[in-house]
Structure 1
């Protein structure tokens, strides 16, 4: 019987020496009752043959079990099972250690994944900043927002009709309507009560947008003349 290395959650393995693996497997068998307390275990025939290892590797595995009091070695007689409880305790502690190692690995992998995502986000922001700088050297890449209420004189009119870029230097990049966002709205998108307009522009664009949307009703009549 061959014992494989314990596999971590990330697909890698927890490497242990062969005799340590055999000691764990023998402790498990003793705990499960494969061997009775007082039963003799011959390292050469029982372990070396069963696990296809050298007698020296089998001897080292038994040495671990002797040191833990799971088996006892009697001079000139052989090795005997001494305690099923100690075998169970050793196996449980081993399993707990493996679980802790797996959790630690998963946490480490999660942190590394988040770091990669942050690096990717940083690269995207750098790309966006460079593109925005090329297109509009003075334009802010952080959108401003402005809520439209029932008193807005542009309700029902389309973005295209307002000529916002020509009047304010701002560009509407999204319209938040309820819980939904309409990204890059076209010129036929109508302004509705409760909309939140997200726009980008230079430092003066915000004030111009406020002036445009909050201008008195008389201005509308002047525009239509």
Structure 2
């Protein structure tokens, strides 16, 4: 089982070299850190690095320093082994994405709570209802600023966030220009969705 483990780790490190995470000329983590990263013994890491050294991908000095020497050889190594991504990389990518999503969700909830608490208008809404509304391609509000639209006066809704692609803008100001495809997160009373949808996208619902 350990034999398969060190081969998989060697392939994973080679992939990280090819991707540029470990560029040629850089010194990568020593055995102790790598063994902690992959949750295996230092001996397993030593075997993985030995494989990479035999392939002229890294150089391991007497002082246990690991130097990346060739991304070309690393690419040849993963290609001839029919390797795309090991379970290590996939699991790490998933864990990272989940951590980032959890942190973003936490920040969003915290900001939302702060905005609601700070706004006199929102304090009087019992309850308030956050809803998401997408600006359509033919929306009459596309290309206009939030201020020019007199958004709250026309809808009774307060914009607490704007999603544009992968970016999120919390409490966008009056000078923000709205565009088709933007998603507004608004709060208001029970009928806020219908009023805001009509205002943004015309008669279409």
Classify the TM-score, shorter chain.
0.3 to 0.5
TM-score, with normalisation over the residues of structure 2?
0.40
